[in-house]
Amino acid sequence: MTSSLVVLGDAEIRELLISLSKEEVLQFKEALENILIDFSVRGEGKYQPTPDFVNRPNGQKTLFRTFSSPDHVGTKIVVTPAPIKDSEGNTVNRPLGGLLSLCDSAGVPTGILNAAEPTGYRTTLSALIPWTWRRNTENIVIFGAGKQGLWHTRLALALRGSEIKKITVVNRSVGRAKDLVKTVTEENQKYWKSSATLNVLDPAKADYDEALASLLSSADAVFCTVGSTSPLFSHKTILGDGTRSRLPFVGAIGSWQADMIELDPEMLRHAASRDDSYSPHGAEGSILVDDLEEAMVKSGEVIQSGLKGERLLQVGEILDWLDDKSERKPEGGVENLKKWISEGFIVYKGIGIEAISESLMCQVILVVYMVDFGSYIRNKFDDKYIYIG
């Protein structure tokens, strides 16, 4: 296996990932969960180099991430292209691009993948792990209609489509949001067959603010996938006067630099100070993150909230506590923890752990080998796939 190199483009990866059964998605999810535990609990975090990025004057942003494990070494480059103008003079933000490369422990290349689809998929699946703990998820609001918003919609339906009644997409460009809904509606009919309705909230509506407040006040989950420099909604918009009996899950993964922000910092402070919040460190509560150290310096929301590190709880720690085989348990046991993560007001901020990309690449390459995907892709995609064995 290590003597072969798999090269996959965007269309091939999308076809592979979107056609996974629920059981296969859960296998991918389990692999990502193990990476999160390794990173947060078993010491793998200290072997992951610090990510870096370059912001050019024309608006281009390039993220450089490397990752390592005892079995693999790899790197990812993700480029946010500089904005361009369309024929009408409107600013257009183009899709992300880049690549993932993977070597085995001896440095032998094993995979080169277009980064767009794997990045959207692994970021979303990782971010949805704490959402899968939630008791209620009938109504979902998704901010953003890019790759992350698309995969949040897809994977929500793939994982819990039978429980979801409504998904509403909110995006600055209503046309792009409608395209997302059209795409996923067609995919849902083929793959997941959920009875959920998919809608778009148009920001140009005269009563947009009232409509958004109504949506958020009844949402069970809110997924934020926008590279924003200001909060997408206020703390009070989602919690109102504080009398909500069914509390929401709020996840944010779109903003990943210190000067970017999707969530109201007051919402983070509130989530971490509620009487019904949870902390393994004492009476005060917590918010959830994937990477504590990176969140403290890369998340504009966390920085502006002023929360200290002890108020940030890593998802990998929770996964380890929930594992019956683990000897590590939080103070006071896990019952209060389980109640909080399933019913409490949860705010999750994801920055990204690049070792997760390694795990996803390994899973993708394994699928290629298991089903002889090389020959299959050649026939289906007219030699757009390259397999070197």
Write the CB contacts of 105 (distance below 8 Å, at least 6 apart in sequence).
Answer: 70, 71, 72, 73
Look up the domain containing 303 and give its range: 123-349
Contact 76, 115 (CB under 8 A): yes
CATH number at residue 251: 3.40.50.720
Shared domain for 114 and 131, answered yes or no, is no
Alpha-carbon dihedral sign for residues 173, 138, 261, 98: negative
Shared domain for 256 and 317, answered yes or no, is yes
Q: What is the domain count for the chain? A: 2
Whether 283 has a pLDDT exceeding 80, the answer reads no
Whether 388 has a pLDDT exceeding 50, the answer reads no
Shared domain for 52 and 142, answered yes or no, is no
Lowest mean pLDDT among 168-182, 217-231, 295-309, 346-360: 346-360
3-state secondary structure 287-347: EEECCHHHHHHHCHHHHHHCCCHHHEEEHHHHHHHHCCCCCCCCCCCCHHHHHHHHHCCEE
Whether 261 has a pLDDT exceeding 90, the answer reads yes
Shared domain for 285 and 331, answered yes or no, is yes
* Chosen domain end from 319, 334, 349: 349
Shared domain for 280 and 342, answered yes or no, is yes
Helix, strand, coil percentages (3-state) for the chain, rounded to 5, are 40, 20, 40
Whether 380 has a pLDDT exceeding 70, the answer reads no
The per-residue pLDDT for range 199-210, each reduced to its tens digit, is: 999 999 999 999
The per-residue pLDDT for 368 is: 61
Shared domain for 161 and 77, answered yes or no, is no
Q: Stretch 335-356: mean pLDDT, rounded?
A: 89
Shared domain for 34 and 160, answered yes or no, is no
Shared domain for 29 and 149, answered yes or no, is no
The model carries a pTM of 0.87
Shared domain for 266 and 140, answered yes or no, is yes
Nearest to 274 by CA among 235, 314, 218, 300: 235
Q: Stretch 360-370: mean pLDDT, rounded?
A: 63
The per-residue pLDDT for 102 is: 84
Lowest mean pLDDT among 247-256, 279-288, 361-370: 361-370
Nearest to 118 by CA among 227, 17, 31: 17
Shared domain for 104 and 178, answered yes or no, is no
- The total number of residues shown for the chain amounts to 389
Percentage of the chain beyond pLDDT 70 is 89
The per-residue pLDDT for range 125-179, each reduced to its tens digit, is: 999 999 999 999 999 999 999 999 999 999 999 999 999 999 999 998 899 999 9
Shared domain for 250 and 185, answered yes or no, is yes
Q: How far from the centroid of its chain's Cα atoms is residue 214's Cα?
A: 25
Shared domain for 157 and 248, answered yes or no, is yes
The per-residue pLDDT for 371 is: 52
